């Protein structure tokens, strides 16, 4: 007979303990231990199963002709690497209200001549119809189901044989063989594994929507991210209209791609030219702003960087950065003081990346420094100038990758000059109509930029 045993599983890290504790001794989180009943079977394990497959050499494996499925969404196709791979599992995570359900519903309704099975464990069928009316879309090939039972969902997948399955969300599913609550570590692990075993042999792509914790990480065990083929992060500030779709893990494409959307009343709109969006509020004649030529994934766009420097009112200077690494901001301020002689350590410094974006491109360093110095001098930077360069600890301006693509984007957006590193070699800058200024030191850069504006 099978023997039942009670364990307490941490919802944050998945560690199991024989008794309840207020704090998990493995990850240090509080009030994350949940009681689960584990059934251990005493049946002997067979050394060789009755039906098994033989190992094959690489030349014996047939590749087959599995074309990617076009999602009719260019930004999602870009992030996925060209479309949906048959039999792949995609996990989409994001904060509540960011637009995850809206995105997948738009994809489901946009796919024509393909059967889509949309399973919702959080909304009723009437609520789904109201959402579809708001999006002003309809599809005769999309089937909707409000269900949380794992066994029922697997049966529908086998009977309907859809071309795409969407489950919203994985935390609401329950398996009959487990006594734990929905959303627990055991339930998520069991449901994801069962869906994987059903979808892979049938070559059915599955999109799973996942919740996130207060720290911004995907809720549930870490094994969930290992099981799926692709992990997408849908992020953005709810006070702004723009949303960013990032690829955190992708077995079939690059993890450096991103998609940009604009949230509207009738759903998410694809932003084809993000440079115009991110420079929309740039005003000429105001100090503290500069434009950076940035690259995320395979696309380049221009980003407005806003800086504010003021006298410290409370003795201890404040440092605040929105959309930029605060530690890197402190490093750049130290370089300005040590290498260029600007006394900024006794002043409050605030930095903001316009549009609510989070940028990690090292080429942002020059634009960050210029916006801070512009606010400090109260001298505006010409709106016809943009910057692309990394700043080292010795004050040198280091080269950045794909400089030709950055210059081309700056020229396309109508800029008259761009400041880059002197050490970018092997590029014929004469073929560009835009003026390319090559500088090797930050102090030379300051003289070149602000001597013309005084």
Q: Return binding residues.
A: 94-101
Rg (CA), the chain: 27
Strand partners, 319: 349
Cα–Cα distance measured from residue 149 to residue 182, given in angstroms and rounded to the nearest whole number: 10
| Nearest CA-CA partner of 329 in 304, 362, 348, 351 | 351
Place of tokens 């199991």: 16
Q: Please give the structure tokens belonging to residue 70.
A: 């076009």
The overall longest dimension of the chain from CA atoms, in Å, is 87
Q: Please give the structure tokens belonging to residue 84.
A: 């949906």
- The phi, psi pair for 417, rounded to 5°, reads -150, 155
Cα–Cα distance measured from residue 437 to residue 430, given in angstroms and rounded to the nearest whole number: 12
- The phi, psi pair for 357, rounded to 5°, reads -85, 155
Q: Which residues touch 98 (CB under 8 Å, ≥6 apart)?
A: 234, 235, 236, 238, 243
* CA 291-292-294 angle, 5° bins: 145
Which residues does the annotation place in the binding site for ATP?
94-101
Cα–Cα distance measured from residue 44 to residue 134, given in angstroms and rounded to the nearest whole number: 56
Place of tokens 């016809």: 384
Q: Please give the structure tokens belonging to residue 348.
A: 């409050």
């Amino acid at each position: 007979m099978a023997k039942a045993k009670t364990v307490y599983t941490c919802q944050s890290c998945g560690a199991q303990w024989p008794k309840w504790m207020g704090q998990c001794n493995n990850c240090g989180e509080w009030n994350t231990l949940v009681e689960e009943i584990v059934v251990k079977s005493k049946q002997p394990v067979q050394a060789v199963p009755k039906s098994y497959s033989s190992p094959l050499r690489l030349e014996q494996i047939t590749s087959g002709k599995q074309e990617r499925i076009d999602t009719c969404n260019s930004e999602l196709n870009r992030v996925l690497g060209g479309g949906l791979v048959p039999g792949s599992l995609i996990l989409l995570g994001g904060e509540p209200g960011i637009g995850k359900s809206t995105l997948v519903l738009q994809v489901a309704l946009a796919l024509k001549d393909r059967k889509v099975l949309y399973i919702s464990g959080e909304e009723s069928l009437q609520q789904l119809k109201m959402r579809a009316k708001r999006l002003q879309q309809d599809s005769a090939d999309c089937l909707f189901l409000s269900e949380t039972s794992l066994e029922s969902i697997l049966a529908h997948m086998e009977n309907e044989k859809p071309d795409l399955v969407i489950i919203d969300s994985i935390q609401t599913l329950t398996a009959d063989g487990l006594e734990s609550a929905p959303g627990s570590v055991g339930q998520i692990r069991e449901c994801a594994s069962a869906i994987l075993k059903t979808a892979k042999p049938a070559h059915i792509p599955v999109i799973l929507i996942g919740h996130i914790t207060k720290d911004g990480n995907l809720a549930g065990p870490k094994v969930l991210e290992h099981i799926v083929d692709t992990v997408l992060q849908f992020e953005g500030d709810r006070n702004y209209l723009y949303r960013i779709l990032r690829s955190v893990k992708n077995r079939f494409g690059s993890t450096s791609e991103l998609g940009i959307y604009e949230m509207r009343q009738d759903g998410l709109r694809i932003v084809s030219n993000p440079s115009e969006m991110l420079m929309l509020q740039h005003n000429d004649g105001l100090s503290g702003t500069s434009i950076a030529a940035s690259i995320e994934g395979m696309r380049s766009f221009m980003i407005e960087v806003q800086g504010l420097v003021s006298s410290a009112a409370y003795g201890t200077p404040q440092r605040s950065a929105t959309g930029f690494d605060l530690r890197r901001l402190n490093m750049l301020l130290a370089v300005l003081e040590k290498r260029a002689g600007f006394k900024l350590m006794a002043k409050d410094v605030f930095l903001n990346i316009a549009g609510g974006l989070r940028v990690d491109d090292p080429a942002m360093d020059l634009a960050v420094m210029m916006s801070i110095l512009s606010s400090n001098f109260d001298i505006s930077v010409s709106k016809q100038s943009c910057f692309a360069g990394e700043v080292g600890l010795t004050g040198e301006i280091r080269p950045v990758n794909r400089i030709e693509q950055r210059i081309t984007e700056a020229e396309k957006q109508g800029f008259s000059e761009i400041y880059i590193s002197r050490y970018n070699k092997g590029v014929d800058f004469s073929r560009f109509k835009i003026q390319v200024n090559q500088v090797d030191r930050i102090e030379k850069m300051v003289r070149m930029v602000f001597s013309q504006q005084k």
